Amino acid sequence: MALPEVWFPYGGVETLVTIQAENLGTMVEPIAGERNVETERLAELLKGEVALFICDTSPTTLETVQEVIRVLGRIDSLKVLAVEPKRVEGPIPELKGRVFQLARSAQAEGDSLIPASPLTDEGRKVFIATARPDPLFGIIDAKVEVASNWFAGGLRYAATARKDLEPTPFEKTLSFERAEEITRGIDGATFLTAIPRGGRAKAVLQNAPFDAIANGFLESTLPPARGLIVGAGGRGYDDTFSSALRTLWSVLGGVRRTGEILLVSECAEGLGSQALEMLASGRMSGEGGRRREKYIPGVEEIYYLNKLKEDYGVLLLSGLPEIFAKSGLGLATARGSGEAVGRLLNKLGRTAKVNIVTRAAECRVRSA
């Protein structure tokens, strides 16, 4: 009998994980189905003198932008800005040489919130991003991306609104409310947030409230198993360990406390946050996430990492160098999917059931 084969997004490709049929529990696999992306309506928003801010480089965001631009046709009067222009221009040849760089703002100390200068220009502005679950904000949408990336002090101001660090994906938090507060002062702003499903946009919401975005995600309820194999979601979600770690919390309803987790995440761009890099290099202790007197971008991730290791056994299948993953972060690692699954079942027992989530960034898993 053929063994069940599960393909996980892994960077820009997929990686195969094979598991015995007797070990397969419930699988949650978001699949791109019917789409509700009103490209004609979205194209109307970009007609005339408009600045388009591309807030992330997830495939869902870039595909949506390309579809809208092809409907729009002429883009002579469209000004396009992004943090990393080359990562936009590669997938969207229509924008080659047309994307201006808008670098991330510094997270200065103090109470000042200083917007990047293009945010204060006169005229209409359209911001687009793909939504993803987050343990600090609840959800990251276009407004959170703008407040975090393009306001000096914005990320610090929003992140420190919370007095606790407990991960709460899909719950509207004070940090999310502060991001909304920050972006409320941008004149002529329209915020577009894509809801991902199977690596594509299921829908694109305009100026949507938190609950409307949260309700767009695939939701599954399943009996928690002793083991969970979870993929962050591929390019745009597993580029860094930081991104994968933050995404993971949305699906932990699929595994029992003290159970074992195999996290599949390419991490081609490394650790991702300043705090994790400091931890891995020995410049910050594991207690750094609990001290809030000075905000370091990503410092809450040290708390998330410690809590994850306290509550579960964690095995990482990634491209991170051993010195970072094992020595710096204290995670068990595997060199390939066969070794990873073998080690997982050695811990759980050969007859243990394992639940599977292929794209954690696109769904919410609750315990039955």
Phi, psi for residue 313 in degrees, rounded to 5: -85, 135
Domain 39-214, architecture per CATH: 3-Layer(aba) Sandwich (3.40)
User: pLDDT tens digits for 25-37?
Assistant: 999 999 888 888 8
Q: Which helix (H) or strand (E) segment is 34 a member of?
A: none
Report which of residues 19 and 286 the model is more confident about.
19
- Where in the chain are all domains bearing CATH 3.40.50.11440? 39-214
User: Which part of the chain is CATH 3.90.226.30?
Assistant: 5-31+220-367
Mean pLDDT on 348-354: 90
**Structure confidence at residue 341 as a pLDDT band (50, 70, 90):** very high
CATH of domain 5-31+220-367: 3.90.226.30
299 and 289 Cβ atoms separated by less than 8 Å: yes
Whether the pLDDT of residue 152 is over 60: the answer is yes
Is residue 95 within 8 A of residue 89, CB to CB? The reply is: yes
334, two tokens? 């595997």
End-to-end distance of the chain based on CA atoms, in angstroms?
A: 30
Residue 44 has pLDDT above 50, yes or no: yes
pLDDT at 1: 45
Neighbours of 247 (CB within 10 A): 27
pLDDT at 316 over 90: yes
In which band, very low, low, confident or very high, does the pLDDT at 73 lie, cut at 50, 70 and 90?
confident
On the CB side of 131, how many CA atoms lie within 13 Å of its CA? 36
The pLDDT tens digits of the residues spanning 169-190 come to 999 999 999 999 999 989 999 9
